[in-house]
Amino acid sequence: MFTVLPVPEARSLLAALLPQELRRSEPVTLLRCLGRRLAQAVYSRENVPGFARSTVDGYAVRAADTFGAGEGAPAYFSVTGEVPMGARAEQGIALGEAMRISTGGMLPPGSNAVLMIEHTEIIGSEGIEAYRPVGPGENVIYADEDARAGDELFPANHLLRPQDIGYLAAVGELELEVFAPLRVGIVSTGDEIIPVEERPTPGLVRDVNSYSLYSQVQQWGGAPVLYGVVRDDPGTLALKLRQAYEETDLVLVSGGSSVGARDHTTENIARMGAPGLVFHGLAVKPGKPTLGGVIGRKPIFGLPGHPAAALIVFDLMVAPLLKFGGYSRIQPDALRVRALVSRSLASAPGREEYFRVRLRRRQGSLWADPVLGKSGLLKPMVEADGLIRAPLESEGIAAGAEVEVVLFGTDYVL
Amino acid sequence: MFTVLPVPEARSLLAALLPQELRRSEPVTLLRCLGRRLAQAVYSRENVPGFARSTVDGYAVRAADTFGAGEGAPAYFSVTGEVPMGARAEQGIALGEAMRISTGGMLPPGSNAVLMIEHTEIIGSEGIEAYRPVGPGENVIYADEDARAGDELFPANHLLRPQDIGYLAAVGELELEVFAPLRVGIVSTGDEIIPVEERPTPGLVRDVNSYSLYSQVQQWGGAPVLYGVVRDDPGTLALKLRQAYEETDLVLVSGGSSVGARDHTTENIARMGAPGLVFHGLAVKPGKPTLGGVIGRKPIFGLPGHPAAALIVFDLMVAPLLKFGGYSRIQPDALRVRALVSRSLASAPGREEYFRVRLRRRQGSLWADPVLGKSGLLKPMVEADGLIRAPLESEGIAAGAEVEVVLFGTDYVL
C-alpha cells in the first residue's frame, strides 16, 4: 500500500491536481513591497527623467561649438546665465553661448552637451574657455533614458529588490499588484510531542517541527498559522486538520513518529475529500515517510517527524509552492554554489539522498565538508551551511567531485 | 577643503569615533527571531533529547545478544512487551529479551540498541528472530547527542535560520537576547526633488533615494524612518537633521546634486556637534560626493544624489553598521560568488571602481557581463545581478579575469 515516488513524479502528480497558480494577488503600497513578487508585468507610464539632465557640474553648450578645442586652442564661450535647479530651463543657448548648470539641472533649449567645470577656465566676468571638446549627449541623460513610456520595466514574478523599489518610485508606480503570501497551517501530531513551553520528562520531546516549519514558511514568503500539538487520537486529529484546511491555503501535518500516528495521519488525509492522497512515501533520504495529497484544490503534506527530514522535505516539496505558486513554472530556485566534496559519500540507488555540508575555502577552492550524524539529530543541520544531493540512480559522490550546494542562507563569503 | 578618503580609511576613522557596537539588544520571543542575530552566545541548559531514543521502528535489545546473528544463524528473542510512546520506559530488558519500540520511543533499561523491524521475523506469539547483529548504540540517539547541558549552541552574532529556531525550541530557549534593529533616519534634499506622490514637471524628479534607501535599510535589518524632502534651505535642513538625529540611531541625508545643496549639507553636519565631519569625499566611483561624520556617538552620512551611487555607497558604508553593529568586527559580508568577466573594464588608479554585472552561465562557466550605462541612471542597477570592483590602485579588469561578484539578492541559480 506504500506508493513511494521520486520527487519529480510526486511534483508532477500534485501539479496536475493543483491550480496553475496557488497564490492570489493583492495591491500593496510600494514602500512595503521589498522582497515581494510582482503578480503582473509593470510598464512605464512616463518617460523618466522626462527632460534632458546634466550629470555633472559645468556649462551647458552646443557640442559643435567645442569641436577642435584643446589645451593649445581653447574654445571661448560667453556665459549668459545659470540654469535654475528644480525648474524648467526657459532661456535658450545660441552659437558660442554657455549657461552654468549643476548636476541634475535641465539642459536649456539649444544645448546638447555639458562641459565639466574641471575642463574650463573663467575668462573675465562673462566668459569661459573650454580645453576639451564634448560630443552631442556627453554628460547628459536623455529625457527617456532611464525609462520610456510603454517600456516593460519588470516581468511578472520578479522579486523586488531595493533598486527596483527606487526605480518604481522614479516612474511613479506607488502601488503594485504583488502575490499575497500563502497561508500555511501547521499541525504537529504524536503522543511523545509536547508544546515547547513544557519541560519534557523521559519519553517526551518538545515540538521542534512547529517552530522550524513556522520559520521556513516565513523564510519562503508564506504566512504560517500554528495549530499546536495533537495527541495520537484519530478523532481529534481529524477535527484539527479540517480546521486548518478551512482556514488556510496549504496544510502541513508533521508526523508523529510512531506507527500508529502515521497510520492515523494517512487515514485522515485520505478521508478529507477528493482527490485525496497522491503519494505515500518519497524516494528521498532523509524524508521517506512523507505523505502528499490534494483536497479540493489545496495541497496537504504529511511531513516526517524527524526535524531534519521535515526541513529537507519542506524545501523540496513546499517551498516551490510558496515561492513560485506551483511546480510547473521554470524559475530560479534556492541559491546554489559549486564546491568540491572533501570525502566520498555512499548512497543507495533508487532514492535521492541529501547530505549536509559545511563550506570552507581551502587552497583557493571552495570545499563542501560533509557533516555526518544520524538523521534523527537536528545538530548536524545547525552545523551545516547547505545540502548536496546524490541523484536517484547514483551510488554516491566521489571525493573531489564538483557538486552543487543548495545554501540554507545568505550569510557567507564564498 | 575636500578630504577624499579610500573606503578602508574612512571606515577606520569612523570606527575610532563610534561605540564598538552600535546596536542595542532586546529580548525577543523565539518565533519572531528568524533572521535576527544573537546578542550573546547561547548555552544549553538541558541534555537533548534527555533520554536514549530509537531512530527506527523495531525491537529494543542488548546488542551483545545479537552478536554472530546472520541469515543462516538467527538470534532468538522473547518479546516481553511494547515501549509506550510518550512515557518513561519502566520495564527492563534482560538477557535474550526484546521489546517492540517505535521511532522516537525511549530505550528500556538494560537495552542499548534497536533491531530494525525489517531485519527480524516474528516466531510464534512471543518471539522474534534477528538476521543481523546490531552494535551498541545502533539505531539509537543518546540522551545528550543533540545537545549537552552547558554546551555552547551558538556564538554571539549568529544569524538565526529555520533549523536554528527549531534547535532552540528543542532545548527550550523560548526567548532570546537578539540585536535590536538600528533606527535609521532618511532625509532627502534638493530643489529639484519632489515627493514621489507628485507628478514632476520639467526640471523636477521624484525622490527615488528615500525609497531605495528605505528598502536597503529594511534589507540589512534596520528600521527606516522617512523625514521627507527638504528644499535647499540651510535653516530648514538644519531643523530636519536635528530632528532625525534626536529620534534615530543613524542619519542618512541624500544629497541634493546642486553645488549649493551639497555645501549646505556639509556645513550643517559640521555644525551639529563634535566630533563632526570625518571625511568629505570617498575614493569610490560611483560615490565620490559622500560625506561622513559622527555627532556625539551617532554616525551621519551625506550620500550622493545619484540613486545608483547612493545604493552602492550604502552597501559599503552603512550596511556593515546595520548588519554587524560596526566596522571592526571580522564577519562575513554580503553573498559573493566567483565569475569570469566577459569584457575588459578600464579604471583610474587612486579610487575603487564598482561595475554592475549580470550573471550568466555559459560553456560551463559563470560569466559576469558588465551592464554599461551612465552612473546617473538607475536602470543599469535594475538590470544587474551584482557588482564587481576594481581595487584602489588597479587600472581596470581584464577580460577573462576571475572576480568576486557581490550579489544584490538571492534569487539566482549559479
pLDDT value, residue A123: 94
Per-residue pLDDT reduced to its tens digit, A155-213 = 998 889 899 999 999 999 999 999 999 999 999 998 899 999 999 999 999 999 999 99
Closest partner CB to B196 (pick from A84, A105, A172): A172
At B338, the pLDDT band (50, 70, 90 cuts) reads confident
From chain B, pick out residues whose CB is under 8 angstroms from the CB of A169. 196, 206-208, 210-212
- Determine whether the interchain pair B153/A216 forms a contact, defined as Cβ–Cβ distance below 8 Å: no
Locate the chain B residue with the closest alpha carbon to A232: B85
Locate the chain A residue with the closest alpha carbon to B380: A146
Percent of chain A with pLDDT over 90: 72
Task: Give me A56's grid cell.
Answer: 555633472
Q: What is the CA radius of gyration of chain B?
A: 31
User: Does B212 score more than 70 pLDDT?
Assistant: yes
Closest partner CB to A379 (pick from B147, B382, B408): B147
Mean local confidence (pLDDT), B163-172: 95
Q: Distance (Å, rounded) from C-alpha B107 to C-alpha B99?
A: 9
Greater model confidence, B385 or B251? B251
At B258, the pLDDT band (50, 70, 90 cuts) reads low
Domains of chain B: 7-23+181-324 (3.40.980.10), 26-46+152-179 (3.90.105.10), 53-141 (2.170.190.11), 336-407 (2.40.340.10)
User: Does B332 score more than 70 pLDDT?
Assistant: no
User: Does A309 score more than 60 pLDDT?
Assistant: yes
- Determine whether the interchain pair A193/B89 forms a contact, defined as Cβ–Cβ distance below 8 Å: no
Greater model confidence, A301 or A316? A301
Return the bridge partners of B158, or none: none
Neighbour-count burial for A244-259, b at 16+ CB within 10 Å, e otherwise: bbeebbbbbbbbbbbe
Mean local confidence (pLDDT), A51-64: 96
pLDDT value, residue B331: 43
Mean local confidence (pLDDT), A72-85: 95
Q: Distance (Å, rounded) from C-alpha B362 to C-alpha B343?
A: 14
Locate the chain A residue with the closest alpha carbon to B205: A49
pLDDT value, residue A412: 39
CA dihedral B395, B401, B403, B408 (to 10 degrees): 90
pLDDT value, residue B90: 93
At A409, the pLDDT band (50, 70, 90 cuts) reads low
pLDDT value, residue A256: 64
At A324, the pLDDT band (50, 70, 90 cuts) reads confident
Mean pLDDT over each residue of chain A, to the nearest integer: 91
- Determine whether the interchain pair A307/B163 forms a contact, defined as Cβ–Cβ distance below 8 Å: yes
From chain B, pick out residues whose CB is under 8 angstroms from the CB of A57. 259
- Determine whether the interchain pair A85/B408 forms a contact, defined as Cβ–Cβ distance below 8 Å: no
Short-list A268, A266, A260, CA closest to A237? A268
At B234, the pLDDT band (50, 70, 90 cuts) reads confident
Contact of B134 with B117, CB cutoff 8 Å: no
**Secondary structure (DSSP) of B31-98:** GG-TT-BBSS-EE-SS-BSSS-EESSSEEEE-GGGGTT--SSSPEEEEEEEEPPTTS---S---TTEE
User: Does B122 score more than 50 pLDDT?
Assistant: yes
From chain A, pick out residues whose CB is under 8 angstroms from the CB of B260. 85, 102
- Determine whether the interchain pair B374/A201 forms a contact, defined as Cβ–Cβ distance below 8 Å: no
Per-residue pLDDT reduced to its tens digit, A232-290 = 888 999 999 999 999 999 999 997 655 667 788 889 998 999 999 999 999 999 999 99
From chain B, pick out residues whose CB is under 8 angstroms from the CB of A147. 379
B274 CA to chain A: closest CA distance, Å? 30
User: Does B304 score more than 80 pLDDT?
Assistant: yes
Q: Distance (Å, rounded) from C-alpha B190 to C-alpha B172?
A: 53
**Secondary structure (DSSP) of B79-103:** EEEEPPTTS---S---TTEEEEE-T
From chain B, pick out residues whose CB is under 8 angstroms from the CB of A377. 141, 145-146
Question: By 3-state DSSP, what share of chain B in percent is helix, strand and coil, each rounded to 5?
Answer: 20, 35, 45
Q: Is the peptide bond before B195 cis (omega within 30 degrees of 0)?
A: no
User: Does B351 score more than 50 pLDDT?
Assistant: yes
